Amino acid sequence: MPRLPALSLAAVPGRRQTTLELAQEIEKRGYPGIYAPSLGDSLALCQSLAHVTNEIEIGTSIMPIYFRQVVDFASTAGYLHEISKGRFRFGIGVSHAPALKSRGLSSGKPLSDTRVFVEELKAVPRVGPMPPIVLATLRNKMIQLAEEIGDGMVFANGARSHMGTSLGCLTDETRARDDFFIGNMIPTCISDDLEAAKAVNRRTLTSYAMLPNYRAYWKAAGYEEEMAGIEAALAAGDRDRVPHFLTDRWLADTTLFGTAAMVREGVEAWFDAGIKTPIIVPSSASGGQMVAFQEFLSIY
């Protein structure tokens, strides 16, 4: 039997009820988890998911820590932990400068801000037990912090070839723990037209390639030439050239694309790389989110 990944699910305005029905279908088909990205209100979606599902794990992947007050987060997280009967994982992160700027927010130092947030979250009184806390990770220091103060970690757009190095920051004991979450959000496009599928994933990741922290991570993962090309294009004000440097080699390391068989093999490769919970982020070369999910659900 193939190992099933988890799925990333966002509630888009106008399709929220349909999204909940899709979640029920995902659970019925035996997938292990549904994780809500920072698009929209991921905590609100998780609250609905807790009511319309029964066994599947649910979580945020991720909720930016600057979006609400800590007391508010603690109240909601405690509530979700209780009503989901322990199925909820609270994935948190510092987000990115563009997302924060759009809300009039600014960030501090990611490591220290995350540490303080977790300490304050756990200290809020009268909210009940907290759910497992999963930290958004890319580079080594945040991975080590996740081991120190968290119950797991989740990458977004990680490089599969670099996972051995990244997970090597954890102790063998932590990696062996069944209750320590190790996930990665993987942009995925299923299509017999490989070029069309690659184009979809390039569009998905172009905005990430413009972020300095992601470029630093991908440089460490062995893509110095690609990231240098992107930085030169950005310095020249030529943003349209950024996708040119998202090479096929890089794309195959950070995303899944191609035929159903290719994507299934890719999911297995992510498990083999040490990611306990691959989180598929479906896109389609021939339709929107719902089409993408139907394409993915049809391959298992």
**Residues 230-243 pLDDT 10s:** 999 999 999 999 99
Q: What is the mean pLDDT of residues 8-31?
A: 96
pLDDT band at 299 (very low <50, low <70, confident <90, very high): very high
> Would the pLDDT of 103 be above 90?
no
279 residue type, one letter: I
In this prediction, residue 100 carries a pLDDT of: 75
Mean pLDDT of 273-279: 98
pLDDT at 98 over 80: no
> In this model, does residue 210 exceed pLDDT 90?
yes
Contacts 24+ apart (CB under 8 A), 70-78: 70/117, 70/120, 70/121, 70/124, 71/124, 73/121, 74/121, 74/124, 74/127, 74/130, 75/124, 75/127, 76/43, 76/47, 77/43, 77/121, 77/127, 77/130, 77/131, 78/127, 78/128, 78/129, 78/130, 78/131
pLDDT of residue 96: 78
Residue 106: the pLDDT is 80
Question: What average pLDDT does this structure show over 150-162?
Answer: 98
**pLDDT score, position 105:** 78
Q: Is the pLDDT of residue 60 over 80?
A: yes
Q: Show the DSSP H helices in 124-171 as ranges.
A: 140-149, 163-167
pLDDT at residue 127 tops 80: yes
The pTM score is 0.97
Q: What is the mean pLDDT of the chain?
A: 96
pLDDT at 163 over 90: yes
pLDDT band of residue 39 (cuts 50, 70, 90) is confident
Query: According to the model, what pLDDT value does residue 222 have?
Result: 98
Which domains does the chain show, CATH number per domain? 6-194+256-297 (3.20.20.30)
CA distance 64 to 61: 9
Rounded average pLDDT over 52-56: 98
Q: Is the pLDDT of residue 99 over 90?
A: no
Residue 279 sits at φ, ψ, to 5 deg, of: -115, 105
CB–CB of 128/85 below 8 Å? no
pLDDT for the residue 102:
79
Mean of pLDDT values over 18-30? 98
For residue 40, is pLDDT > 90? no
pLDDT of residue 232: 97
Pairing of strands 152-156, 133-136: parallel
Mean pLDDT of 198-206: 97
| Tens of pLDDT, residues 5-15 | 999 999 999 99
Query: Which residues are CB-neighbours of 102 under 8 A, at least 6 positions away?
Result: none
pLDDT computed for residue 104 by the predictor: 83
pLDDT average, residue stretch 294-299: 97
**Please, which pLDDT band fits residue 97 given cuts at 50, 70 and 90?**
confident
Q: Where are the beta strands (DSSP E) in 126-235?
A: 133-136, 152-156, 181-190
Q: For residues 221 and 165, give the distance between their C-alpha atoms in angstroms, rounded to a whole number.
A: 9
130 pLDDT higher than 80 = yes
| CA angle (182 as vertex; 230, 255 as ends), nearest 5 | 35
Average pLDDT over residues 136-155: 98
pLDDT at 135: 98
Q: What is the pLDDT of residue 30?
A: 97
